[in-house]
Amino acid sequence: MKKETKTVKTAAKDAVKAAAVTAAKVEKSAEKAAAEVKTTAASVSSKAAEVTTKAATTTKKTVKAAETVAEKTVKAAGEAVKKAPVRKAVKETVYLQYLGKEINKDDLTEQVRDIWTGEMKQKAADLKSITLYLKPEENAAYYVINGETTGRINL
């Protein structure tokens, strides 16, 4: 039995030594792998920084080019505006003279506005359009307000 115990103890010692050697090898492999990962990570980080720098440079160049184009466009537009002819508003007055009567378009328009706000009790802001039809033979002016409301004014 002593011999078997000795054999078991020897086998156990050998197993412990083999486990220690294997553990050392695993630890070395892990350290080596960690070092490789660290090196690869540093390389990737370096490449990422390089790409970021290039992207920033490209973006700056693109923005600068866009600013230059915008400045030229604004300058050209400003020059075009300066060169554009200025049209003065023409004052228009229209009179209808018929059988000794003189009728002014502005007076008729004002009468239609007064009808809209006074008689019809509508807001002046709601008045969008006035169309006048003059019929001197009937001694009347017909109006259409906002394309809907119609009426007659005696001349």
In this structure, the answer to whether residues 8 and 59 fall within a common structural domain is yes
In this structure, the answer to whether residues 42 and 69 fall within a common structural domain is yes
| Rounded distance between C-alpha atoms, residue 125 and residue 147, angstroms | 15
In this structure, the answer to whether residues 83 and 104 fall within a common structural domain is no
State the total domains in the chain.
2
pLDDT, tens only, 84-141: 777 778 888 888 888 888 889 899 999 999 999 999 999 989 999 999 999 988 889 9
Q: Is the pLDDT of residue 36 over 80?
A: yes
Q: Is the pLDDT of residue 58 over 70?
A: yes
Best CA proximity match to 143, nearest among 127, 126, 121, 125: 127
How many residues would you count in the chain?
155
In this structure, the answer to whether residues 6 and 77 fall within a common structural domain is yes
Structural domain harbouring 18: 1-87
pTM (2 d.p.): 0.44
Phi, psi of 71 (to 5 degrees): -60, -45
